[in-house]
Amino acid sequence: MKRLLGDAASKGLEATLITSETKTVSVSFDFNRLKTIKDTESLNMNLQVIKGNKLGVANSTRVGGEKELLENAMNVADFGPKINYKFPSPEPHANPEVFCQNVEDLTVDKMIALGEELMKFIKSLDPSINGSVEVEKNILRKDISNTHGLNARLLKTGFAISSGFQFVKGQNLLNAWDWDVSTAMEYNLERIQAKLKEDFDIGKNNTSVEPGLYDVIFTPMGFSDLINPIVTCLNGRAVMRGISPLKNRLGGKIFSPLFSLTEDGTLDKGLGSQFYDNQGVACRKTPLIEKGILREYILDLESAYRLGRQPIGTGSPEGANPNNLLVSPGNMPWNNFLKDMEKGIIIDQTMGAWAGNPYTGTVTGNIALGYLVRDGKKVGRVKNCMFSLNVFTHLKSNLLAMSRETKNLGSMVLPYCLIEGVSITGSDS
């Protein structure tokens, strides 16, 4: 690594080198039986060079390919985009808790046992059900260094356990799933089982829905479809190109005071947490939207320069990418939303909700898994229904509450949210 950077410096180049070594072990069950056991190791080297104010980026997965990597990056730089930044000098970094020895020590036998426990539970729901389970762990070693003296190594673990089922009865196809994910051995099989059982018991019964405007509870998974277009509009590259509706709106009221969104690359046990982003900027915690007020964009070095902002540790050669996104929770248990609802909808999983133009804020999609609520109780699954809203309107004027419970989805930690006036269309028979 030092030799490659030294060679780059001797040629008058600025350079940043990132080397990632990942070991992944996974166990998967499908059709109610053990399907695969995988044990893989991977190496990736990413080299960025600045040559005459042009950026060149090259990748290699070959051990000992440093010389070729440098040559490729230099060749790409001859035709690369002009940039306005330099690679940063070293700065102090946070030390998030992202390594768990119990994850590294987790054996395949234990992973199989966890899978079998969930598989046994799913089969107990119905003899004809098709269950699936996956248990995965990974260990990452990431080194980042540059020609300005930056040199850091991150050790990080990851653990995920997911389970779901497919159930077919006549013309009714029901899919449901749930999971836990962390950098530590943090999971709750009882909670996963309880959710799958409720989805199975209620989801078997379809119910008719009249088209109209409804109060809707979005689960964290459903809520993520509303967050995605906001993240796209917050991207500094979209702002500097003038295609984001949030351009020139820093300090303005964009959403309800109930809505706050934070980017946090220093989050303990966050899957995206790291010391430095992929341009060498130290990660930090940054309020993006604070009680409805737009405070910052998601920035890389180029967009930060062009917009007159400071980088926030979310950069990469391709642009800005958040590490961990957190929507601030509320104070009320989400079950209280349910108990107080006379008539409404719960949306847990969607289909096609990310197919539109994100810069308009309109989110429309099929309800893949959702329930009709009457008098505070789920009465059946809604089927062949679509929902439609606009995040810039509904999260400003129609947002009623956020739950105190949150779920780690991997790249986001989100609560349940309650929104009024959501358009529901579909069959009423």
146 and 230 share one domain: no
168 and 220 share one domain: no
What pLDDT is recorded for position 355? 65
Task: Provide the domain count of the chain.
Answer: 2
146 and 224 share one domain: no
157 and 36 share one domain: yes
14 and 76 share one domain: yes
- Of 147, 177, 201, which residue is a domain's last? 201
What pLDDT is recorded for position 243? 97
- Which phi and psi angles does 417 have, rounded to 5°? -135, 150
Domain containing residue 28: CATH number: 3.30.2290.10
220 and 131 share one domain: no
Mean pLDDT (10-residue bins), the chain, 429 residues: 88 96 97 95 96 95 89 94 94 97 98 97 95 98 97 98 93 92 97 97 92 97 97 97 97 98 98 98 98 98 97 96 98 95 96 84 95 96 94 98 97 97 79
Range of the domain at 17: 2-201
- Of 201, 222, 237, which residue is a domain's last? 201
Tokens of 412: 């986001």
What pLDDT is recorded for position 219? 98
Tokens of 219: 């689960």
223 and 189 share one domain: no
Nearest-5° Cα angle at 413, 353 to 234: 60
103 and 224 share one domain: no
- Of 201, 231, 247, which residue is a domain's last? 201
What pLDDT is recorded for position 427? 58
57 and 192 share one domain: yes
The reported pTM is 0.95
196 and 209 share one domain: no
Task: For residues 146 and 71, give the distance between their C-alpha atoms in angstroms, rounded to a whole number.
Answer: 17
Q: Per-residue pLDDT tens for 324-378?
A: 999 999 999 999 999 999 999 999 999 988 767 899 999 999 999 999 999 999 9
Residues ≥6 apart with Cβ < 8 Å to 47: 4, 15, 16, 17, 18, 57, 58, 59, 60, 69, 70, 72, 73
156 and 273 share one domain: no
Nearest-5° Cα angle at 110, 105 to 113: 165
Task: For residues 179 and 186, give the distance between their C-alpha atoms in angstroms, rounded to a whole number.
Answer: 11
60 and 148 share one domain: yes
